Every structure is written in structure tokens, then in C-alpha cells.
Structure 1
Amino acid sequence: MKNQKHVVFLGEARFPYGLASVQRMTLMAKALLHENIKVTIICRKGSWNQGEHPDFKYEGTYEGINYIYTSKEVHKPKGFIKRNVQKIRGIYGEYQYLRNLKKNGGISMGVLSNRKLIHVFRYVFFSYLFRFPIVINLVEMASSMNHKRSLSRKINDFILDKWIVKLYDGALPISDKLKDFYHVASPLKPNLKLPIICDFDKFNISREPSEPYFLYCGSISYREVIDFILEAYKHISQEENVKLYMIVSGESKKEVARFQQEMNDMFKTEPIQLFSNIPYSQLVKLYVNASALLIPLRPTLQDSSRFPHKIGEYLASGNPVITTNIGEISVYFKDGETALVAGNYIVETFAEKMKFVVDNPEKAKKVGLVGKELGLREFDYRTHGARLKAFIENL
């Protein structure tokens, strides 16, 4: 369509089957499509292992979203030389594809998610070369991350948050703290807070009969949080009537089994079950059938800056969310009405909220349903399309 706006998403991989960052990008694209804005997701290289998603083409349309892998491969080749050849081909393919887009109608905005300096510089250069504004999808204060990082990664993140952030033409921060951070760094540039977003329609499935269980979903690298949940569960697990399920990412089946046994050794009846690398349809079922969903946030700069994507999915399940009063939680949620919010990051306080679910299942269910209503108002992707459209027009 002539004069139709066109937004490109840069710097991500594994579309459309990636984790939270890919899901956020996908939902942003769907929000724009809802406002008749054309979108294209550009992935530089293949990242899946051979055999994963074997029928997925390197270029096409997914849920109305145009996408392309500019290396013309969606899988990671075996061998050092082949992998690096693919990377180079992908970079050149990015250049060609953006150049052609510019010639054939233009680019209204580029949205960048990548945080590696070498790639950030390239995308900023492309935006200058092809004269389109580039904005950062700002979802974390990377320099505040507490998990183990190499020295080179720490330097990378420090430089990004200290200086490189000023090179972008605007930002889409996920939280008030990140919005304030970007405003201080670039006070004259546009800055739109875009909170967690979710496709609530995908969670409209029927509940299935199952044993009662709490559910936590997150990376195994957040071992401190997992240990916190285990300690809280110990406080309410005398009878172990409500089980504890955990969905952990990034580990082999063997490692997950070892980790599960290690945790179950703490209890009498082995009440803990771990899941890893499960299909999205199974993830949705686990959310929908849970008694409550757990997401304790810590009183750190890292957690007060971020707003975990899974909170939106938790709300979409219609089940109560148990969390802590950190960061964006205090902006959107009220304890006992839209979520069960522990006043602090203390095991005993969090355990009290879990105990409430065990002792008051009907009241807890009502909290979950009201939380879902809040989520539909604030976080459904369709509610943010018009805001994004106005942001593009003001760039």
C-alpha cells in the first residue's frame, strides 16, 4: 500500500520460537499490524540446531508478520568455518535487504533489541546510511545484572548504558525506572513506556483436571530466586498437598533430572516437578491449570528496572499471581485484588501469600480473574498499537 508506514525489527534471532525477547518483539509487531502498519522482522543468521523446526523457511510470513533470515538459513551449521561464513553472509544480506527496502518505499522506524556493541554499531550505521530512525527496545539495565558475566560482557554493558544509549533516536522502555534512565541520558529524544504485552487470546483454553500445584517459570541461572521459592514452599509444605512445578530454560534433560532430584531430596514425597524446552502449547496448559503462579522480584536495581514478560502470560491464565512489591508491581497491582503481593522479599512473607492460596482457593481464584481483567486493559497487545503509531509519527 502506497505511503504505508513500515517498521523493521533488528538484532533478534530464533523468530518466532524464541524466548521472552522474541515473544515481545512478535507482539510489538502484531500491535503495529493492528494499526495497519507494515512490519518485517530481520534475523541475521540461523540459530536453531539441525533438525529443529525443519519445515520453517528462511523467508515468509508468520501470523501476518513478514520475516527474513538474511543468511538464507534458519539453522546453525556445523563447523567453525561454516558458522562464520553464515554470519558474514547474514550481515551482507542485512545490508542488501535494508537498501532495497529504502529504495522501494522507505523505512519508518527500526527497533533494535541486540545489546552487543559490535552489532549495535552496525545497526546504528545502517540507520545513518539508509536514513531511518532507530529506537532501542529497552527491557533491562544490563550493567546491573547480578548473574555471572565475563569481564568483556561487563565492559560491553557498561559502555552501552553509559554512552551508546545516547546514539539511538528514541527508546521503548518497559518500566518507569528505565524510562527515567533514558530521559536523563537523552532528554530531547522521544521515549515511550511500553510495558509487558501479551496475546490473551492464546490462553482462552479450558482447564483440565489436575493435582493442585504452584508454578514458577524462569531461567535456571536465577538460582537465587529458585532457592527463595524452595524455602517459601518449605514453610507451607507440611502435608505437601499442593505440588511445586518449575519450568526452567536452557538446560539439558539430564541436567534438569539431576536438578529435580536434588530439590526433591529436601522433601518427603518428592513434590517438585521440572519442565524444560517444552512446546508453547504445553506451557499455556501448565499456566492455565495452576493454582497460582510465582514470580518473586528482588529489591535490586536489576529487578526494579525490568518487568518480566511472563507476568503478562501469568495474568492471561486467569490464575492468581504471587509476587513482591518491587518496581512495576507497585505501579499496576494491588495486593488481594489484582495479585497477591508480598510487601517485601522475605521468605516468610512470600510463604504467607502461598498459604493464602492453599487455605482460600475460591478467594484466590477471584484474585486471578480480576488480575486477568487488569491484564486485558493494560497489557493486551491490541491496546498499544495506537500508542506505537503515534510514537512513530513523532520520531
Structure 2
Amino acid sequence: MNINLITSVTGFPHGTATANRIKMIAKALINQGNHFCVYTNCFLFNKYNTLPKGQYEGIDFLYLHGHTEEINSNLKKLLLFLKGIIRLHHVISKLDPKIDIIYICAQGKIFNVITILLSKLYRIKVIEEINEWNHVVLNRKIEKIINEGPLIKWTDGAIVISNKLDRTIKAIVPNYTTILIPVLEDAEKFNRLTPVKENISQYCFWMGLVDGYLHDILFIIKGLGLAYKNGYNYNFTISGPYNQDSLNKIINNAAEFGYPFQNINLLGYISEDELMNQCKNAHFYIVPLADDIRSQSRFPTKVASYMFCGKPILTSKIGEVGSLLEDYYNVLYYTPDDFNSLSEKIKLLSTNVHLYKTICTNTTKFAINNFDYKIYGNRIHTFFSEILSK
């Protein structure tokens, strides 16, 4: 079976959560004897993505528009987008409905609609990846039309990341075929990480798209600021791309809540090896989840990475995370949207050494038993095979 991942929202092989999700699903399927290829029409510049065509850990990839350098001209982007569509048509027209299947990252993009229409033209089955629906919360009407229309009504099935999303989708299309696959990681790569360095400042770690989740970062600073005022001093290391406006808001927020800006280490976008070492060497992590529709449907990819690193996660008992993880055993929950509660949990981790060590031990065990991509290889392969054979 040939799986053809088609996307316009991430480069490859390097990127943030979406690129990592693609890699984990791909490796699970390749382990079952399948071929996996990524076709991307994304224009997000990433200095670590230098080849427009190649192979990464057994995964073939191709930039449909043929470019990996930074492009600032909107006109050039439009022309390259159209070039990518033409090349996409060529790719899909060569696929064999008996052995090929298309796999798309399901965001409400016109590119996905074009992909689905071309797939229907050539009778190729389509499976989508649904890991977050933001269109309701962000009031994005066009995305709502696409997400709740073509992406679930014209496709043949979906990999969903949470029970909440599964229920939401089936309320629209009751007989829609889905499979629930949680956040995934590669357990082996964490065994190769650099050991924790001695004599370094203890820090809280966060990774992701800073601009997209700035509210989460500002919330963490509030909690760290209150903890700092009470005598619990932790640095805050942030990995991920950010713009000047986000930086200014971080500076102002730190000043407002009494958290020293010199305690904040903004790394920007770093290599995967450096990212994992920063993650491994952290003292704890904070994953803000608000009591809203978006967080109830989410399952942050970073949760798996953090748990494999074996350090405590502070988060809220919301959605899939709240259903799977056990308070005071392999996670520590604070009251949603309450930075006073977050500060109290930071204090608890600082003063209760036994609790800290208990969570460290149990979080790794849970990750190994639940988030290693190898566990799900056969299930994902069977799901794709059954869709293909319909």
C-alpha cells in the first residue's frame, strides 16, 4: 500500500507539531511494510529544510512548488502555489486506486478541497488527519464551511486525536469512519538524549508556535511571576518561532506580573536535536488548557515528548489529557485559567521531593505504554487497508 500525504500547512521533514505527527504516522505505517511519501505545497520557511526532494528516515518527500528558500513576494507565492496545484494534478493522476491512498492534514484550506476534488476525479480514497478544529472558537466562517463540509463529507475516513473531536464529527456525519490515535512519539530517540547537565539553572520548558499560542505563554509567565514573588525562582525557556509583537507582549507581561525578563530564554526555532535536549534538561513543563471548546478537543503533541523526557507536566484536567492522566501520579493538575492555582502547584513541586520523583517515574512509564508510535502500527495499517478496499 502506498500512502501519499498531501499538505499545504507544514514543510518537511522539519517543523513543529504537524510535521512531527506526520513523521510518527509515517513510521508506524512503514514498519508495517507500506510506502509513505509526503507532498507539500507549504511556503513556511525553515532553515533546516533545504532540499525540495529527498528521503528522511525512510519517508520520501517532495515540495510540489519546488522551493525551500524564503519567499517574501505574494505574487511569487501565488504563482508557485498554482505551480504546485499543476504538479499535484500530475501526482494524483499517476496514482493507482488499487494500491494508493491519499492522506491529508485536515485544516480548512482551499488546497485541501482541490486535493479532494482531484482525488475524486481519479477515484483515489482519501483519509484525513483531524487533530484540532479552531474555526468555531476563532469564528473563521470559510474554514467552518470547509471543515464541516468537504473535509468530512467528501472523504472516506479520518484519524482523530481526541474523543471530543470524534463525537463532534459524528454529530455531523453519523456513519463517518474514524480511528482514534493519541499523540505519538518515537521512544528510541529519547534514549539517545544528552543526560541532564549539572549546575544549570532549573527551568520550566515550553515549545510550539509562540505567535499562535501567545496567550498560553503569557499565562505561564503570570504563574511563574507569582511563584517568584513567593520565593520559588525558575527560569522559563521557550522554543519556537516568534515575531516582534509577541516579544513585546512577553516583555510587558513579565514586567506587569513581577517576573524578571532575564529569566526568560527565547530560543526561536532550533534543530530537533537541540529541542529534545532542551526538553530533556527541563525541571518541569506547563501545558495550559483552558476550559473552552478548543482545549476540550485538543491533545497537544508536546505532551508525549514531555512525558518521554520523564519530568512532571503541570496542566488542567481538560479534554483528552484530563481523561488519560492521573493527578498526583503521572501529572499535576491546576484549576483551569487560574494562575494562582498554577503558582501553588509550582510551589508543591518545589517542596515535595517525593511527589516530584513519583511523577517523574510514572510519566515515563505511561508514555512508553501509550504514546510510542510502534504500538499503533498494526491498527493504523488495518484502518488504511480497510478504507482502501471499500
Q: Fold-level match, TM-score > 0.5?
A: yes
Distance 1:296 1:84, change over 3 A: closer
Q: Does the 8 Å CA contact 1:40/1:67 hold for their aligned counterparts?
A: yes
Three-state SS of the structure 2 residue aligned to 1:144 is coil
Normalized against structure 2, the TM-score is what? 0.89
**1:267 alignment partner in structure 2:** 258
Deviation at 1:250, TM superposition (A): 3.4
Distance 1:141 1:46, change over 3 A: closer
Q: Does the 8 Å CA contact 1:99/1:130 hold for their aligned counterparts?
A: yes
Deviation at 1:63, TM superposition (A): 0.7
**1:207 alignment partner in structure 2:** 196
**2:301 alignment partner in structure 1:** 309
For 2:124 and 2:32, the matched residues in 1 are separated by 20
Three-state SS of the structure 2 residue aligned to 1:94 is helix
For 2:6 and 2:116, the matched residues in 1 are separated by 11
Alignment of 1:72-87 (within 5 A): 72-77=66-71, 79-87=73-81
Distance 1:84 1:174, change over 3 A: same
- Between the aligned residues of both structures, percent identity stands at 21
Deviations 1:119-138 (A, max 9, x none): 12211112212222112211
Pick from 31, 56, 59 the counterpart of residue 62 of structure 1.
56
Alignment of 1:117-266 (within 5 A): 117-146=109-138, 154-164=140-150, 165-204=152-191, 205=193, 206-209=195-198, 210-218=200-208, 219-238=210-229, 240-247=231-238, 249-252=240-243, 258-259=248-249, 261-265=251-255, 266=257
Q: Does the 8 Å CA contact 1:46/1:69 hold for their aligned counterparts?
A: no
Three-state SS of the structure 1 residue aligned to 2:270 is coil
Three-state SS of the structure 2 residue aligned to 1:134 is strand
Q: Does the 8 Å CA contact 2:106/2:130 hold for their aligned counterparts?
A: no
Regions of 4+ moved over 6 Å: none
Match for 1:262: what amino acid?
Answer: N
Deviation at 1:111, TM superposition (A): 1.3
Match for 2:113: what amino acid?
Answer: F
For 2:177 and 2:271, the matched residues in 1 are separated by 37
Deviation at 1:346, TM superposition (A): 2.2
Deviations 1:187-243 (A, max 9, x none): 223110111111222222211121112223342343332332222223321365532
Q: Does the 8 Å CA contact 1:173/1:194 hold for their aligned counterparts?
A: yes
Q: Does the 8 Å CA contact 2:312/2:356 hold for their aligned counterparts?
A: yes
Normalized against structure 1, the TM-score is what? 0.88
For 1:320 and 1:211, the matched residues in 2 are separated by 17
Residue correspondences, number = 379
**1:348 alignment partner in structure 2:** 340
CA RMSD in angstroms, aligned pairs only? 2.3
Unaligned ranges ≥5, structure 1: none
Q: Does the 8 Å CA contact 2:240/2:270 hold for their aligned counterparts?
A: no
For 1:28 and 1:139, the matched residues in 2 are separated by 13
For 1:77 and 1:295, the matched residues in 2 are separated by 33
Unaligned ranges ≥5, structure 2: none
Pick which of 212-221 and 56-65 moved more: 212-221
For 2:344 and 2:232, the matched residues in 1 are separated by 16
Pick from 68, 90, 97 the counterpart of residue 96 of structure 1.
90
Distance 1:141 1:212, change over 3 A: same
**1:336 alignment partner in structure 2:** 328
Deviations 1:326-349 (A, max 9, x none): 001222100011111225442222
Q: Does the 8 Å CA contact 2:312/2:360 hold for their aligned counterparts?
A: yes
Three-state SS of the structure 1 residue aligned to 2:220 is helix
For 1:11 and 1:66, the matched residues in 2 are separated by 14
Deviation at 1:386, TM superposition (A): 0.8
Match for 1:177: what amino acid?
Answer: K
For 1:198 and 1:120, the matched residues in 2 are separated by 26
Distance 1:256 1:163, change over 3 A: closer
Pick from 6, 23, 27 the counterpart of residue 10 of structure 1.
6
Deviations 1:139-183 (A, max 9, x none): 11222334xx7xxxx111221343232222111111000011122
